[in-house]
Structure 1
């Protein structure tokens, strides 16, 4: 169970980083 929670947290952090990168790229392109 602990591994699942850790994996889920890792996925959330990964998605959060991707979202921030998309925002930065959008700002640069505009």
Structure 2
């Protein structure tokens, strides 16, 4: 189980960053 967690955690963080990046690209901040 620990090995699985060690693989899932980085993936979860990566997916979170990817989603944030995609949202930023689709909705650019209007200044």
Q: TM-score, normalised by structure 1?
A: 0.71
| Higher-Rg member (1/2) | 2
Q: TM-score, normalised by structure 2?
A: 0.70
Hey, which of these two has a bigger chunk of helix by percent? Answer: 1
Pairwise mapping of residues 1-30 of structure 1 onto structure 2 (< 5 A)? 1-27=2-28
After TM superposition, which residue ranges in structure 1, 4 or more long, deviate above 2 angstroms?
Answer: none
Figure out how many residues of one structure are paired with residues of the other and give that number.
27
Give structure 2 stretches of 5+ with no counterpart. none
Give structure 1 stretches of 5+ with no counterpart. none
